[in-house]
Structure 1
Amino acid sequence: MNALIVLLHGVGSTPADMAPLAGLIAAHDADARVAVPPATWPCDRGGAGYQWFSVDGITDANRPGRIRAALPAFVATVEDLQREYGVTPERTVLAGFSQGAAMALAACQDRFLARHVVAIAGRSAPLPDAWERRTTVALVHGRMDRTVPVQHSERAFERLAALGADVRLDVVPRAVHLLAPPLLERAWRAIDMTSWQCY
């Protein structure tokens, strides 16, 4: 039985924005089970997108609190999908882009929600002071990302490694903050590697 791969979009986006990654997964594995839920709230910056938490007036000081407040709804979304697909955390991969990555990293610090987290162009806010050891992490980040600088993933890698987590960092030299080549292919590679390890 294949793993359940949950794709988590960024702020102001919709599940359709994860289509390039979902399509790449399907092209390599026609039987892959992929779920792409919308974030909890309509985006408060207008448009048709969604958000896990508001970035209106966001600062380094208030971001951790907003993420903590958003966690119950995020965890409920993932657990609902696990029940729907009949899988356990051991057979779940969370692959998030930007805000989706931040939520996946936050949710797995102190609970076993997924066997693997693939955090694409995200940040851990704040850096964790604990980590659920059964959850492995792949951090994928573009070197030229100006929206969420690569230093966020580099610092997360250092902290997670210090906490004893099974963590990898893949910095993509020419990639920006966009789920497009070459970042897209490296994200797929990380998901493919982790999904085959679910057992």
Structure 2
Amino acid sequence: MTTLDGPRLAPASGQPAEALVIFLHGYGADGNDLIDIGRAFQPYLPTVSFVSPHAPEPCAMAPMGRQWFDLTLRDPTEYWRGVTKAGPVLNRFIDEERDRLQLAEDRIVLVGFSQGTMMALYVGLRRQPGIGGIVGYSGKLAGAEHLAEVPRPTPPITLIHGDQDQVLPVENLTEATNALGAAEIPVEFHIRPGLGHGIDQKGLQLGLGAIKGALGL
């Protein structure tokens, strides 16, 4: 099985990590794309370690980037097939990082962007025992019809999306929150006015707040 790796940040405190935030990048990027968010968060989360793994596959549309799974945009089932295929690789990476840092499962938060949000929701909702939380930016919920299989209780979920997103339109946020609500899975969501497919300063603040809440910091 493929082994993931990527940039890491040790706790700013200089002490052993008390928690871990794992960033999951979007299609065509790599782990370097999100690790700077960890640097921005370090002063506010000094006891937390950060890691941003490179997705397992070279990106078909961006040869210098990576992908969690291929996108043809022609097959409506490809998101579900993609997350289920990439899920075991990501789960093994989470296991390895958890054990390396000697952390409990509930001290882990997954933060995804775009395709990384699809992975965060798929993997984060199904790990047992449950992780600390999930934060998803500009993403989509793959396999809403499979939510009945998700173990309970679920970790806290925060979804953030720009209302001018042309890549994954904000309707994906509505669909995700409706499906999660129908499955009685609590979710907090925020729509950022005027924002495209990206993360703005307010979104960073919301994400930081969600991480702090999930970890009780």
Higher relative contact order (CA 8 A, sep 6+): 1
1:41 aligned residue: 57
Q: Does 1:114 align with 2:134?
A: no
Q: Does 2:174 align with 1:174?
A: no
Contact kept? 1:105, 1:124, Cα under 8 Å? yes
Q: CA deviation at 1:166?
A: 2.7
Query: What is residue 136 of structure 1 aligned with on the other side?
Result: 156
Q: 1:147 to 1:170 in 2, by over 3 A?
A: same
SS in 2 for 1:29: coil
Deviation, 1:122, is: 0.8
**Preserved CA contact (<8 Å) 2:68 2:82:** no
1:86 equivalent in structure 2: 102
Deviation at 1:134, TM superposition (A): 3.5
Between stretches 95-104 and 54-63, larger displacement belongs to 54-63
Aligned to 1:13: 29
For structure 1, the residue ranges without an aligned partner over 5 or more in a row are none
User: Is contact 1:25–1:32 with CA below 8 Å preserved after alignment?
Assistant: no
2:10 aligns to what?
none
Query: Deviations 1:111-167 (Å, cap 9, x if unpaired)?
Result: 335221111111011214223323221111111111111111222112212222231
State the alpha-carbon separation in 1 of the partners of residues 176 and 73 from structure 2.
Answer: 24
Supply the distance in 2 between the matched residues of 1:152 and 1:51 (Cα, whole angstroms): 20
Q: Classify 1:36/1:82 alpha carbon distance in 2 versus 1 (closer, same or farther; 3 Å).
A: same
Question: How far did residue 57 of structure 1 move?
Answer: 5.0
**1 CA distance for matches of 2:63 and 2:70?**
14
TM-score (norm 1): 0.88
Matches of 1:183 and 1:68, distance apart in 2? 28
Number of residue pairs the alignment of both structures matches: 197
3-state secondary structure, aligned to 2:126 = coil
Between the aligned partners of 1:40 and 1:177, the Cα distance in structure 2 is 23
Paired residues of 1:7 and 1:18 also in contact (CA < 8 A): yes
CA contact (8 A) 1:12 1:51 kept: yes
TM-score (norm 2): 0.81
Identity across the alignment (%)? 24
Q: What is the rounded CA distance, in whole Å, between the counterparts of 1:71 and 1:31 in structure 2?
A: 28
* Larger Rg, first or second structure (1 or 2): 2
CA contact (8 A) 2:23 2:35 kept: no
Query: How has the CA–CA distance of structure 1 residues 50 and 58 changed in structure 2, closer, same or farther, with 3 Å as cutoff?
Result: farther
